[in-house]
Amino acid sequence: MPETQIAPMTTADHIARLRPYVPGKPIEEVQRELGLTDVIKLASNENPLGPSPHALTALLQVASGIALYPEGSAPALRRAVAEAQQMPEETLVFGNGSDEVLHLLAQTYLQPGDEIIQGDPSFTMYGIYALQMNAVAVKVPLKNYTHDLEAMADAVTEKTRIIFIANPNNPTGTLVRRAEVEKFLDRVPAHVLVVLDEAYDEYVSDPDKPDLRPYILEGRNIMVLHTFSKAFGLAGLRVGYGITRPEIAEVLNRVRSPFNVNVPAQAAAAAAIADTDHVARTVELNAHGRNYFNAEFEKMGLAYVPSEGNFVLVDVGRDSREVFEALQHKGVIVRAAHGMGLPNHIRVSTGTMPQNERFIAALREVLR
């Protein structure tokens, strides 16, 4: 018998330090764990109306073609997005969710010891991808729940490579406005890439929201990120994209895996972006949901952060993990913001009106 050779693998130090992303709990998991049947999820900012019917039709049409690899450059989707965004096709880079585009940015531009700057709290994946590259995530506290762009510009060093701004921010729902962002861009050195993550752009009602497309056309180091996971209702298919200088898009295209956006995802996303009626219905439902939540929180005496997204952050006045658990036992999944430095806040996505009412009724009981 040859001697068996068993030895533990040594994980790289910077990977050993990583903590996994905590997603919203899936409905099925809560059903299994708690023996509940009727469970609703208002935890991941998904679209309660589901996908556009046109997207579903497009998906079914290509279903029989999935024995073949997709076209890596996603030409039909590229045309549809270029038209919707009024930007040249070569400014676009597609990902398996906008998450993958964030990952590509980290892989492409971050070396060990480099720095990224992000708000705190903000979308946690910015920091996770930076740590995966052994880079440093510099976290600048929000001011009044909003990105403090002055402080973020002050935090730039020679090692800064990328600044991430989620606009509206997740988990707070706050927006930084056009004039503020333009002033910020004047202060950021030209070699630093500024990423404006507009995952919730469709929901924004503020007319002063920034539009960085002209800056991209001028050749500035900027990326605007979009996703099909939120207002377009395609979270399960995984598609997102960045709009950026063609030179940056070209480099990222070399880094991405060749077939990163799959056949049904390309087809459904191209149909979804053309269905402006479905987005309008989605935005209208969300506006009702936000107003309803705000009014109910006021009646309950709870402080909330007015949101430009499809979720609201609310101070429940006690450990949010307990409230999260208690709501879950009533079949309502929300997100506890405890791990994001907001120990007494929960983040709740807007759902259908019956779902919204069920959440409010459950919250009243839990806090009684």
Ligand X SMILES: *Cc1c(COP(=O)(O)O)cnc(C)c1O
Binding site for ligand X (CB under 6 A): 97-99, 123, 166, 170, 197, 199, 227, 229, 235, 240
Q: How many angstroms separate the CA atoms of 355 and 58, rounded?
A: 29
Q: How far is the CB of 3 from ligand X (least distance, A)?
A: 46
Q: How many angstroms separate the CA atoms of 132 and 174, rounded?
A: 28
Q: What is the amino acid identity at position 311?
A: F
- Of 48 and 97, the one with the shorter C-beta distance to ligand X is 97
- Of 227 and 358, the one with the shorter C-beta distance to ligand X is 227
Q: How far is the CB of 152 from ligand X (least distance, A)?
A: 16
Q: How far is the CB of 5 from ligand X (least distance, A)?
A: 40
Q: How far is the CB of 147 from ligand X (least distance, A)?
A: 12
Place of tokens 């906008």: 98
- Of 122 and 320, the one with the shorter C-beta distance to ligand X is 122
- Of 100 and 296, the one with the shorter C-beta distance to ligand X is 100
Q: How far is the CB of 345 from ligand X (least distance, A)?
A: 16
> Pick from 260, 257, 262, 256: which is nearest to 237 by CA?
262
Start-to-end Cα distance in the chain? 68
* Geometric angle at alpha carbon 348, from 318 and 363, rounded to 5°: 50
Distance of CA 262 to the CA centre of its chain: 20
- Of 227 and 328, the one with the shorter C-beta distance to ligand X is 227
* Geometric angle at alpha carbon 10, from 5 and 14, rounded to 5°: 170
- Of 97 and 121, the one with the shorter C-beta distance to ligand X is 97
Q: How far is the CB of 227 from ligand X (least distance, A)?
A: 3
Q: How far is the CB of 4 from ligand X (least distance, A)?
A: 42
Q: How far is the CB of 47 from ligand X (least distance, A)?
A: 12
Q: Which residues contact residue 32 at a Cβ distance below 8 angstroms, ignoring those fewer than 6 apart? A: none
- Of 197 and 296, the one with the shorter C-beta distance to ligand X is 197
User: For residues 196 and 220, is the Cβ–Cβ distance under 8 A?
Assistant: no
Q: Which residue is nearest to ligand X (CB)?
A: 97
- Of 328 and 349, the one with the shorter C-beta distance to ligand X is 349
Q: Which residues contact residue 333 at a Cβ distance below 8 angstroms, ignoring those fewer than 6 apart? A: 24, 25, 27, 30, 39, 40, 41, 42, 43, 327
Which stretches of 96-177 are DSSP H helices? 98-109, 125-132, 149-154
User: For residues 230 and 350, is the Cβ–Cβ distance under 8 A?
Assistant: no
- Of 102 and 131, the one with the shorter C-beta distance to ligand X is 102
Q: How many angstroms separate the CA atoms of 127 and 344, rounded?
A: 23
User: For residues 173 and 350, is the Cβ–Cβ distance under 8 A?
Assistant: no
Q: What is the amino acid identity at position 341?
A: G
Q: How many angstroms separate the CA atoms of 104 and 254, rounded?
A: 10
User: For residues 348 and 42, is the Cβ–Cβ distance under 8 A?
Assistant: yes
Q: How far is the CB of 128 from ligand X (least distance, A)?
A: 12
